[in-house]
């Protein structure tokens, strides 16, 4: 198969593009998100990296856009996984001349392994991934706020967005689904830093191909706690439905983006001062519970 633009050998069959035109195609998708940020070149962006293909693809792609950027890796204390991921991120940062910040979740008094143990004992009802996601969001936001960043960039791709829309609709949580967007501006008075998802229009397959074509070394191991993640289940189900209805996920995305946006009512946590829907934020509550049972 030949590239539909230049006639060279195609590497991406879905769009019939050669390597060069595929990379350009992905860059344009990222540009579509970044164009929505006013005066991007003056902004300080903190890139949340995990060592996986998506976050390193994002960091690789963002090198081509003007603005001040640093990486943040959170070592979650997941056995045989977090340290390996940290090594990969350190190597990537060195090779691509990025300033890397590393934060350990254990500095906050617990690890994701502790969350898993507490969940096994029935001390925590939520799934490990849900607490892990919460801890990551909390640390990315607080680190960005304390270090004067304008945005946190996360590597959620289009396939993640479709799964998010699917879960929101499946559970009837339309408010949650309506907040799906490539950019969320943040609120300084609540110590809430803005969010960008540069890969919002890039599919998982495209992100993987980009990483492979650019020889990005990423973590291939799967997190030992990933099995029960509802996101993963949603992706598998969507892929099955899309075998028969190829546009199902895209249409879901269009649908949730048309839902009336309902802002979450936020206040600041009485313990840590970061945004919360209740008097004490969820992160502080989890932290207190785990410390009590440590
Ligand atoms: Fe955290 Fe779940 Fe991802 Fe593992 S799979 S890193 S527990 S969110
Ligand atoms: Zn071409
Ligand atoms: Zn708090």
Q: What's 16's DSSP letter? A: T
**Average model confidence (pLDDT) for the chain?**
94
pLDDT at residue 264, as a whole number: 81
CA 223 to ligand 1: nearest atom = 4
> Would you say the CB of residue 177 lies under 6 angstroms from ligand 1?
no
User: Is the distance from CB of 138 to CB of 274 less than 8 angstroms?
Assistant: yes
pLDDT at residue 262, as a whole number: 78
What does pTM read for this prediction? Answer: 0.94
Q: What's 218's DSSP letter? A: -
Residues of the chain above pLDDT 70, percent: 99
What does the pLDDT average to over 183-190? 93
User: Is the distance from CB of 207 to CB of 56 less than 8 angstroms?
Assistant: no
Ligand 1 pocket, mutate which of 83, 129, 155, 156 (most atoms under 8 A from CB): 129
Q: Kindly tell me if the per-residue pLDDT of 228 is higher than 70.
A: no
Ligand nearest to the backbone CA of 135: 1
Q: pLDDT tens digit string along 119-174?
A: 999 999 998 999 999 999 999 999 999 999 999 999 999 999 999 999 999 999 88
User: Is the distance from CB of 62 to CB of 160 less than 8 angstroms?
Assistant: no
155, with CB counted inside 10 A (0-12, 13-18, 19+), is buried
Q: Is 281 helix (H, G, I), strand (E, B) or coil?
A: coil
Q: Kindly tell me if the per-residue pLDDT of 117 is higher than 90.
A: yes
CA 116 to ligand 1: nearest atom = 7
What does the pLDDT average to over 8-22? 97
Which residue, 40, 97, 46, 41, is CA-closest to 71? 46
> What gap in Å lies between CA 240 and CA 133, rounded to an integer?
26
> What gap in Å lies between CA 203 and CA 292, rounded to an integer?
42
What does the pLDDT average to over 19-37? 96
Q: Kindly tell me if the per-residue pLDDT of 201 is higher than 80.
A: yes
> Would you say the CB of residue 229 lies under 6 angstroms from ligand 1?
yes
Name the residue with the closest Cα to ligand 1, atom 8.
129
Q: pLDDT tens digit string along 89-114?
A: 999 999 999 999 999 999 999 999 99
> Would you say the CB of residue 112 lies under 6 angstroms from ligand 1?
yes
pLDDT at residue 140, as a whole number: 98
Q: pLDDT tens digit string along 39-53?
A: 888 999 999 999 999
pLDDT band for position 176 (50/70/90)? confident
Ligand nearest to the backbone CA of 276: 3
pLDDT at residue 38, as a whole number: 83
State the CB neighbour count (10 A cutoff) for residue 226: 15
Which residue, 262, 272, 289, is CA-closest to 131? 289
């Amino acid at each position: 198969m030949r590239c539909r633009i230049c006639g060279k050998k195609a590497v991406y069959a879905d769009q019939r593009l050669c390597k060069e035109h595929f990379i350009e195609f992905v860059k344009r998708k990222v540009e579509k998100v970044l164009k929505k940020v006013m005066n991007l070149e003056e902004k300080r962006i903190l890139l949340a990296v995990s060592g996986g293909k998506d976050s390193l693809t994002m960091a690789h792609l963002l090198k081509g856009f003007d603005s001040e950027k640093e990486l943040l890796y959170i070592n979650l204390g997941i056995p045989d996984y977090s340290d390996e991921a940290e090594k990969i991120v350190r190597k990537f940062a060195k090779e691509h001349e990025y300033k890397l910040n590393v934060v350990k979740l254990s500095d906050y008094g617990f690890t994701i392994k502790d969350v898993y143990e507490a969940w096994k004992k029935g001390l925590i009802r939520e799934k490990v991934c849900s607490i892990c996601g919460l801890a990551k969001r909390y640390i990315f936001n607080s680190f960005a706020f304390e270090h004067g960043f304008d945005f946190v960039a996360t590597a959620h791709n289009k396939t993640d967005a479709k799964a998010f829309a699917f879960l929101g609709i499946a559970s009837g949580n339309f408010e949650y689904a309506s907040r799906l967007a490539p950019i969320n501006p943040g609120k300084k008075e609540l110590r809430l830093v803005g969010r960008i998802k540069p890969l919002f229009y890039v599919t998982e397959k495209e992100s993987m191909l980009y990483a492979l074509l650019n020889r990005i070394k990423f973590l291939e191991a799967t997190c030992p706690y990933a099995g029960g993640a509802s996101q993963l289940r949603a992706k598998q189900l969507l892929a099955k439905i899309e075998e028969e209805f190829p546009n199902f996920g895209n249409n879901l995305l269009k649908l949730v983006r048309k839902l009336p946006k309902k802002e979450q009512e936020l206040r600041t946590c009485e313990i840590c001062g970061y945004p919360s829907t209740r008097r004490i934020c969820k992160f502080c509550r989890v932290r207190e519970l785990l410390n009590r049972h440590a």
